[in-house]
């Protein structure tokens, strides 16, 4: 492919993508393919000869696209949003076009410096204290990690090294290996799978403590756990507080957990993967109350801030804690700046390779930069507020239908709901909805009940789209348990086959099945 | 930005990028900026209002571009290549355009399936044994990781869990925490920093064993280390063999290390980050001799196979070893396929989230797919062979100049060389060359000597470009120590100021300074 062919091909792709978003409402959200659809049909070997770009794009449309779940369809309400925007595509294009690596300042100065600049910008927008910013005189700063999973593990490993060094200073005779086996990490039973995984990957016991009836991990619970473990000779080391749990978007109170951690010299990390972004709007900033107690804070910019995966923004109060855990030197990585990372000078240029696990790093700051500039702070706040308003609109629709219960109290862009008939019905409803391929949602549990999670995900979503999603849901509910005003016989074990509404039972508020 | 503005802006960027590559030879490889150049001058806050895309691109050209090191300039000879090609940009554009996540099959079926297909294609091209491929009946398969760093750590964590389970089966009374502190990992003293880092991150002692005079880790050395550690009550667990070390591109003999590992039930991982790609050419396949002993094998497709970071291709013989180490379940991650990952059925659809550390995963297979299709196996082989031929051309040029020594014997696209005058001169020469900003190289050490590494990196490089690079090098050598035929007075302590050649000593083959 020469540069002229590239111009032609890439411009064709640009039009394909613009058309894709212009017409995304015409698409079925969930693809109609069975496992193995592509593995079974694709050629067994890579082509020996180069293929013309026209054929590659044709093949893409004929074989890849039919297996794509459309995350940016307004009827995609699963998980949490995956950020995307035109500005993001531009930034990513520049990043992939330049294709530079930024493991040292020298390897591509702009790569490191633009990351410092944009992480300061974003940290200020979120209302983080000065000490988390690179532009403050202290050793704090922000860095782009690949994922919240990675950030949680980075925090854990840094906490482990820091705790070890502290204990070694107190008692130089301690057994390095043995002492580390006594370290304990904590989070709530509502934490994301990646938090539990960080314990497994980082070789640290991870206790998932019981959350309260609002799915929050409380200070008293943490304090009790610390005391129990200390009594067993274990050493509390790392706590992951969740701002916006994946299940129900619950918030652990940093202002309660913080003082408990402070007292015991325990590292407090915040996994604010989805919800943290809301802190760019002053009216939602209350969610980070207690941030001053925190050692590290992570928000997935690639969730709710219109930037695509991977762009997880992590700030630390003391970057030396990362460097102590991650710095491995080699002559071929010599950098003009490495010895003066944090200096008395006016400007601090970090060696980001010591702030992360891998050596390689892309120019990810470019997409954050283009999005921040093309949307402006105002545009991003508008986006967040719009999603929350749309979730409130959905809430009203659910409330008006007596067959459904909304619980817990909805937060930000998430509304969880269930059928009053009980879990088996709610589960069946979700299965039937997914089988329509017209809408995508996933489940969670709350107080041992099965809930359907409805999240506003696409940046394109309007009130009309929300109403359309709700119509899809109520249509399937009608088929499963009958319209709210119709009597009939309730079928206990349902399948996806269409059920005539005349056979359905009326809704019975008082007879929810126990789980 | 609406879809029409996106079309306009993105097409402008496409032309910018095509122009960039068309005219890359006009650019200075290393930017003329000082640390802090952007941090000091960028606005302190993100813009409040959206900026027009024309202004964002203007700002990009005025503030970001001046700080970019041009990795695809034919005069960039640093580190190892970072893959890039027009086909890669197309694939990345499709990936960022669709912006889907692929942590389960259901989350976007094409994302998982295209990865299976392309990893089978690539595995076959590299000549990997059937058991590493997903298309074989066993539990083997390939997965795209973010980096070789990540793959090395994934292998280490899997080895740790596997060894623990094996020991637990033998003796159910063992102390889980204590036993793991006895595990030891091994690599050669020539390994990449990321290998050493994997030990630190994965909480495993990492011994860097002495390589021989060819920078290879030999079977006998490993065997001795195992015996020493076992005598101390330690447990050999994980070995990282290097195919193409970062310093001198040395190859550890898998056929020697393999049997030693086999005998002791130790996991053998191969870090073939750069050099592994050469195995797509039958004439270089000898480098993977002994591959049948290997448990996991990793090649950075984003180095030498025209795909940009991040795309590190990892194959394992038994994917259950990964799943056992990485599987954490959650209801919201329920997948239609999760329970039948490896089945008796004709087709195996992996749950890739259990094959990696983070939960999130992009549609990275798209760029691998577009590159494999647009270049074809022939195109990729041609690219590899072209780089090796160009390195051989460079070698001839160095050999013809009596002021230089080439050592060790060059491998693939890398030629290491030094001035006969000794390390301080070689070091000074590299500094002077970097100061010209016209060429980029980094250093390494070999037998305690300081060497300059010259790597063919850009896919655009021609013989003329190599000759141009050599002219830049010899010009600076002339300034530093005088042309090869001129007598004069040798200056011991040189700086970057231009030195008149009449003051320079003749080259003295016999008086290399001891280090």
Chain A residues in contact with B159 by the CB 8 A cut-off are none
- Contact A185/A238 with Cβ under 8 angstroms? yes
Highest CATH level, class, for B101-362: alpha beta
pTM check: above 0.90: yes
Q: Which residue of B has its CA nearest to A24?
A: B98
Angle between the N-to-C axes of helices B423-436 and B463-481, in degrees from 0 to 180, rounded to the nearest 10: 120
User: What gap in Å lies between CA B494 and CA B497, rounded to an integer?
Assistant: 8
Tell me whether domains A26-47+68-84+383-515 and A101-362 share a fold: no
Least confident of A70-79, A356-365, B6-15, B54-63: A356-365
Regions in chain B scoring below 70 on pLDDT = 329-347, 485-515
Q: Are the CB atoms for B342 and B321 separated by under 8 Å?
A: no
Q: Give residue-wise pLDDT tens across range A122-164.
A: 999 999 999 999 998 889 999 999 999 999 999 999 999 999 9
Instruction: State the pLDDT at residue B501.
Output: 32
> For the CA atoms of chain B, what is the radius of gyration?
25
Query: What is the predicted pLDDT for the residue at A499?
Result: 35
Domain boundaries of chain A, sorted by first residue: 26-47+68-84+383-515, 101-362
Q: What are the C-alpha distances in Å from A436 to residues A30, A394, A395, A402, A472?
A: 8, 20, 22, 23, 9
| A66/B149 Cβ within 8 A | no
The secondary structure of chain A in percent helix, strand, coil, rounded to multiples of 5, reads 45, 15, 40
Nearest to B442 among A96, A125, A332 (CB): A332
Q: Where are the alpha helices (DSSP H) in B400-501?
A: 423-436, 463-481
Burial A331-340 (b: 16+ CB within 10 A, else e): ebbebebbee
Q: Render pLDDT for B495-512 as a digit per residue (tens, 0 to 9).
A: 333 333 333 333 332 222
Class of CATH domain A26-47+68-84+383-515: alpha beta
Q: Indicate if the pLDDT at residue A510 is higher than 60.
A: no
Chain B residues touching A345 at Cβ < 8 A: 36
Alpha-carbon distance of B323 to B291, in angstroms, equals 22
Neighbours of A130 (CB within 10 A): 12
- As for the ipTM of the complex, it is 0.91
Q: Do B110 and A66 touch (CB under 8 A)?
A: yes
Residue B443 has φ and ψ, to the nearest 5°, of -100, 165
Beta-carbon separation of A358 and B147 below 8 A: yes
DSSP single-letter state for residue B216: P
- Nearest residue of A to residue B458 by CA position? A99
Find the residue in B nearest to A362 (Cα): B309
- Do the Cβ atoms of A358 and B194 come within 8 Å? yes
Residues in chain B: 515
Give burial (CB, 10 Å; 0-12/13-18/19+) of A330: middle
pLDDT at residue number B488: 41
- The pLDDT, as a whole number, for residue A76 is 98
Cα distances from B39 to residues A103, A346, A447, B36, in angstroms, run: 17, 10, 49, 5
- C-alpha A236/C-alpha A182 separation (Å) is 8
Sign of the Cα pseudo-torsion (A122, A296, B64, A305, in order)? negative
Q: What is the pLDDT of residues A417-466, one digit of tens each?
A: 999 999 999 999 999 999 999 999 999 999 889 999 999 999 999 999 99
Under the banding of pLDDT at 50, 70 and 90, the label for residue A491 is very low
Strands B205-209, B235-242: pairing kind: unpaired
Q: What residue in B sits closest to A440 (Cα-Cα)?
A: B107
Taking residue A302's Cβ as centre, other Cβ atoms within 10 Å add up to 31
Q: Rounded mean pLDDT of A101-113? A: 94
Residues of A in contact with B202 (CB under 8 A): 201, 203
Query: What does the pLDDT average to over A337-361?
Result: 72
Give the side-chain half-sphere CA count within 13 A for B144: 31
pLDDT at B387: 98
Hey, how many other C-beta atoms are within 10 angstroms of the C-beta on A184?
Answer: 22
How far, in Å, CA of A262 to CA of A183, rounded? Answer: 16
Measured between alpha carbons, how far is A141 from A119 in angstroms, rounded to an integer?
A: 8
Q: B258 forms bridges with which residues in the sheet?
A: none
What topology does CATH give the domain B1-30+69-92+378-515? 3.90.1150
Question: Which among B207, B231, B223, B211 is positioned nearest to B260, based on CA atoms?
Answer: B223
Nearest alpha carbon to residue A220 among A177, A267, A188, A175: A188
> Is pLDDT of A97 > 70?
yes
Measured CA to CA, the distance from residue B205 to residue A218 in angstroms comes to 37
Given a cut of 60, whether residue A378 has pLDDT beyond it is yes
Per-residue pLDDT of A403-418, as tens digits, reads 999 999 999 999 999 9
pLDDT tens per residue, range A454-469: 999 999 999 999 999 9
Alpha-carbon distance of B60 to B54, in angstroms, equals 10
Comparing B509 with A387, the larger pLDDT belongs to A387
């Amino acid at each position: 492919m020469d540069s002229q062919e590239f111009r032609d091909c890439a411009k064709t792709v640009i039009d394909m993508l613009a058309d894709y978003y212009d017409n995304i409402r015409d698409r079925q959200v969930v693809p109609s393919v069975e496992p193995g659809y592509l593995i079974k049909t694709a050629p067994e070997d890579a082509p020996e000869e180069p293929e013309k770009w026209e054929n590659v794009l044709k093949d893409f449309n004929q074989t890849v696209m039919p297996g794509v779940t459309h995350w940016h369809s307004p009827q995609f309400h699963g998980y949490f949003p995956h950020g995307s925007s035109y500005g993001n595509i531009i930034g990513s294009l520049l990043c992939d076009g330049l294709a530079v690596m930024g493991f040292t300042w020298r390897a591509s100065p702009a790569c490191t410096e633009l990351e410092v600049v944009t992480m300061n910008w974003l940290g200020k927008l979120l209302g983080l204290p000065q000490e988390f910013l690179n532009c403050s005189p202290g050793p704090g700063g922000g860095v782009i990690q690949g994922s919240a999973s990675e950030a949680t593990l980075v925090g854990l490993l840094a906490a482990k090294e820091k705790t070890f060094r502290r204990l070694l200073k107190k008692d130089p005779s301690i057994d390095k290996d043995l002492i580390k086996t006594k370290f304990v990490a904590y989070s709530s039973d509502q934490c994301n799978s990646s938090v539990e995984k960080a314990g497994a990957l980082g070789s640290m016991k991870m206790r998932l403590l019981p959350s309260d009836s609002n799915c929050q991990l409380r200070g008293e619970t943490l304090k009790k756990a610390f005391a129990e473990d200390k009594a067993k000779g274990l050493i509390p080391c790392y706590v992951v507080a969740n701002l916006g749990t994946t299940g129900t978007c619950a918030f652990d109170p940093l202002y309660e957990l913080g003082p408990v951690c402070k007292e015991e010299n325990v590292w407090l990390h915040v996994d604010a993967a989805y919800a943290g972004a809301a802190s760019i709007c002053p009216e939602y900033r209350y969610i980070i109350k207690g941030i001053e107690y925190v050692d590290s804070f992570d928000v997935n910019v690639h969730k709710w801030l219109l930037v695509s995966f991977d762009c997880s923004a992590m700030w630390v109060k003391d970057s030396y804690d990362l460097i102590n855990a991650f710095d491995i030197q080699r002559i071929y990585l010599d950098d003009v700046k490495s010895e003066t990372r944090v200096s008395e000078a006016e400007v601090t240029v970090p060696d980001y390779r010591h702030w992360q696990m891998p050596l390689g790093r892309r120019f990810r700051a470019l997409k954050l930069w283009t999005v921040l500039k093309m949307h402006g702070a105002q545009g991003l706040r508008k986006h967040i507020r719009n999603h929350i308003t749309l979730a409130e609109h959905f809430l009203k629709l659910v409330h008006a239908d007596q067959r459904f219960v909304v619980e817990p109290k909805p937060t930000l862009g998430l509304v969880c709901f269930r059928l009053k008939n009980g879990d088996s019905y709610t589960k069946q409803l979700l299965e039937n909805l997914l089988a329509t391929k017209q809408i995508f949602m996933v489940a969670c549990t709350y107080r041992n009940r099965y809930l359907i999670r409805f999240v506003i995900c696409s940046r394109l979503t309007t009130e009309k789209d929300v109403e359309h999603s709700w119509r899809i849901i109520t249509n399937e509910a009608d088929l499963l348990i009958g319209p709210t005003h119709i009597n009939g016989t309730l079928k206990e074990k349902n399948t996806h086959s269409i059920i005539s509404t005349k056979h359905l039972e009326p809704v019975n508020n008082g007879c929810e099945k126990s789980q």
